[in-house]
Amino acid sequence: MKPLRTVLRYGFMWAEGWLDRAFGAAWNPFYALGALAFFFYWVILVSGIYVYIFFDIGIPEAYDSVEYMTHDQ
């Protein structure tokens, strides 16, 4: 387990150094992964609540509710 962790750490450090050179230290995408995950969590939560409000359960109702969300809104 220890050698795998060391290899992964050096691999991520290599990728981080490459991204620092490509984008600069201020714009490195690795530094924003936590903020992006938090932002996308809220996007998924809000869109899921929206779909939950308009989605009806049942075979014909499910199709009709998806058609409504797709075309009528």
The answer to whether 27 touches 15, Cβ cutoff 8 Å, is no
DSSP tag of 32? G
User: Domain count of the chain?
Assistant: 1
Residue 41 pLDDT: 97
Q: What is the pLDDT of residue 37?
A: 93
> In which domain, by residue range, is 51 found?
2-72
Separation of alpha carbons 54 and 48, rounded Å: 10
Q: Look at residue 73 in the predicted model and tell me its pLDDT.
A: 76
Give per-residue pLDDT as tens, 12-71: 999 999 999 999 988 888 888 888 899 999 999 999 998 888 888 888 888 888 888 889
Query: What pLDDT, on the 0 to 100 scale, is given for residue 60?
Result: 83
Residue 28 has what pLDDT?
87
Model pLDDT, residue 47: 93
